[in-house]
Chains A and B, each alone.
Chain A
């Protein structure tokens, strides 16, 4: 630590006002505060500062994502060897998965941070760490076979149009990671949906009868009969986007987020309720075999839990008031299942639902606040 600190301190004068590399101060500042707790002092207003600043917050979310990432790597390898019909050791699966997943992570971080640094240098404000999490989320919600250049394009698009045009971290309306995914979904549908993108086969011959379709894809075609058993979906050994298949890994992340107070349990809980209610209503209706999928089963397939834990709870784009969070989460779940069942062209309805509710969140908050004001006003008048 001391050694690191010495290096940082020795190059610091170059970046300070009047130094040779003054222009790149935001980059330096970003790295310095990444390594050490910043020595900023508050200039006005409240003088109590919490040790957990934005960087620490982001790192906690990254920690919560690690189970999903690791399981994703394992599952990529598992599906690969399953598809080509070879048996392999656990460690081989993980290594194969890591080789396939790490490029996605590197491209996502490289492009995203690059764009972010450019904007910071141009605008002269210090680097905000919002992208640390987005950069990890983006590879986890991609199909493993997606070409790297598409990830790069989508990441750049998401950072610029999902975030920077609104004023940077903390000002965005939409969740940047979902923006990236939605962009790819509409831009290159052949690489983002269908049966051939979810499992890495390296062009090798697959075993007979293997389709590589996701649970959602099968649900559209065959309904209850086509989807994997509940426990498989729970553990996550099913084809799907890299990091979203395992409900269990998502739940570990959820525990970390709730325990550290970063993710809102209200949103998570109400989203489960919303999804379950919609699934249950479809059970009652039962117009086609997709609707007959039991509600609890409906929740564990697709990206429902991943979206719920890591996307819907994004503190920037979600609703802010407690009441608003209940409403927001409820409709995320409800709409997610509804889009998924009603429109087979958009199998991943959760993505659409969360983006839609991101847009609605300020409106929900507005009415919650207004409702509270009028309620209290009424009370005040009774006394007067």
Chain B
């Protein structure tokens, strides 16, 4: 039998297309501010920067690993049960994350509580599996997962920084608003701790983003 050798043109690891996969989710295709996905966790766990960072790392791990696994299996997954398969993969990864968090950062794990488990239903992850990993090779899928996790994460961290500064006067649990200011009658803003204010902060981020990036403004 004659071997058919298909000579594929080797694509460089960080070709323009691949770099785009990393950069797009940061701004033009940001999962939170543009696609408005994953809002639930963004509102719930951003009261402290620490929680936001841990959440970002967890989502990053699940998203990258999930993307690669689904991408590897993409030709074997029957179309009709693909959602179930994806769910199983993501759920397995999330349980892994959950156990690691419980073992090493127990207090954060307690604060994130149910939201670690809810990573399974985070629309960003399912969205990327469906929209990208199922149709692309592992390497671009990995980059896509990383890019989207960072795009998700920076919004989370920015919201958390604002909320922790104004809500508790701290960052990473370290007090940054001096006691002298409190002595003048300054008080922490409880409203910032409540979820509605997180929504408003996300709104402000979208507002700033759109005023900088006019291509995003719809024409009507």
Binding site for B on A (CB under 8 A): 147, 149-150, 161, 165, 183, 186-191
B102 smallest CB distance to A (angstroms): 33
B207–A189 CB distance below 8 A: no
A186–B190 CB distance below 8 A: yes
* Contact count band on B: 10 to 19
Instruction: Indicate whether B189 reaches chain A with its CB closer than 8 angstroms.
Output: yes
A149–B185 CB distance below 8 A: yes
B200–A187 CB distance below 8 A: no
B207–A165 CB distance below 8 A: yes
Interface SS, B side: helix
B185–A147 CB distance below 8 A: yes
A191–B187 CB distance below 8 A: yes
Instruction: Indicate whether B14 reaches chain A with its CB closer than 8 angstroms.
Output: no
A214 smallest CB distance to B (angstroms): 21
B49 smallest CB distance to A (angstroms): 20
Q: Which chain A residues lie closer than 8 Å to B186 at the CB level?
A: 149
A188–B185 CB distance below 8 A: no
B200–A188 CB distance below 8 A: no
Residue from the set B190, B191, B192, B200 with the largest chain A CB neighbour count within 10 Å: B191
A187–B185 CB distance below 8 A: no
Binding site for A on B (CB under 8 A): 185-187, 189-192, 194, 200, 203, 207
Q: Name 5 A/B residue pairs within 8 A (Cβ), A-sorted.
A: A165-B203, A183-B191, A186-B191, A188-B190, A189-B190
Q: Which chain A residues lie closer than 8 Å to B203 at the CB level?
A: 165
B72 smallest CB distance to A (angstroms): 45
- A186–B207 CA distance with the chains assembled, in angstroms: 24
Q: Which chain A residues lie closer than 8 Å to B207 at the CB level?
A: 165
Q: Which chain A residues lie closer than 8 Å to B189 at the CB level?
A: 187-188
In the A-B complex, the 8 residue pairs with the closest CB atoms: A187-B191, A186-B191, A187-B189, A147-B185, A188-B187, A187-B190, A183-B191, A186-B190
Residue from the set B185, B194, B203 with the largest chain A CB neighbour count within 10 Å: B185
A158 smallest CB distance to B (angstroms): 12
- A188–B192 CA distance with the chains assembled, in angstroms: 10
- A50–B63 CA distance with the chains assembled, in angstroms: 62
B194–A186 CB distance below 8 A: yes
A120 smallest CB distance to B (angstroms): 17
Q: Which chain A residues lie closer than 8 Å to B187 at the CB level?
A: 150, 188, 190-191
Q: Which chain A residues lie closer than 8 Å to B190 at the CB level?
A: 186-189
